[in-house]
């Protein structure tokens, strides 16, 4: 497995542990719809939470959360619509980002609940509520 893929899987595992500690139930990990993939689908307070996990070794090129661009947001909205329809879920949905920076010695995890909305994803301007 490529180093970046391995780092991503480690980050996703850390994010799942973090969410469980916060009382979230993990419904799915790496759930796929066609070529789209949700890193984590969780449940808390009657809300289905679609979580994109971004893991980086450093912030040289920007904070990890800033890499969830409009295309990724739109993909998550399509994926969420399919998941909710397929699973016959009726709860409200939310889109979170968990940004992890780890250099092997120090790890920082930032959780951004409601990082973007459907309106954000479908609008023409770029905006992430972090």
Return the pLDDT at 10. 86
Return the pLDDT at 46. 97
Return the pLDDT at 33. 94
* Cα distance from N-terminal residue to C-terminal residue, the chain: 31
What 23-28 contacts at long range (C-beta under 8 Å, 24+ apart), as own/partner pairs, is 24/49, 28/83
Q: d(Cα 80, Cα 118) in Å, to the nearest integer?
A: 10
Q: What is the pLDDT of residues 68-127, one digit of tens each?
A: 889 999 999 999 999 999 999 999 999 999 999 988 788 999 999 999 999 888 886 555
Decide if pLDDT at 65 tops 90: no
Single pTM value for the model = 0.87
Q: Helix, strand, or coil here: 47?
A: strand
**pLDDT interval class at 1 (50, 70, 90):** very low
Return the pLDDT at 2. 52
The bridge status of strand 36-44 relative to strand 25-33 is: antiparallel
Q: What is the pLDDT of residues 20-36, one digit of tens each?
A: 999 999 999 999 999 99
Return the pLDDT at 103. 81
């Amino acid at each position: 497995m490529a180093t970046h893929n391995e780092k991503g899987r480690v980050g996703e595992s850390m994010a799942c542990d973090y969410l469980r500690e916060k009382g979230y139930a993990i419904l799915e990990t790496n759930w796929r719809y066609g070529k789209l993939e949700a890193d984590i689908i969780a449940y808390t307070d009657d809300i289905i939470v679609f979580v994109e996990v971004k893991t980086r070794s450093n912030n040289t090129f920007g904070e990890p959360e800033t890499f969830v661009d409009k295309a990724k947001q739109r993909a998550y909205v399509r994926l969420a619509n399919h998941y909710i329809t397929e699973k016959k879920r009726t709860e409200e949905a939310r889109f979170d980002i968990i940004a992890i920076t780890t250099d092997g010695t120090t790890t920082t995890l930032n959780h951004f609940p409601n990082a973007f909305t459907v309106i954000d994803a479908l609008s023409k301007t770029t905006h992430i509520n972090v």
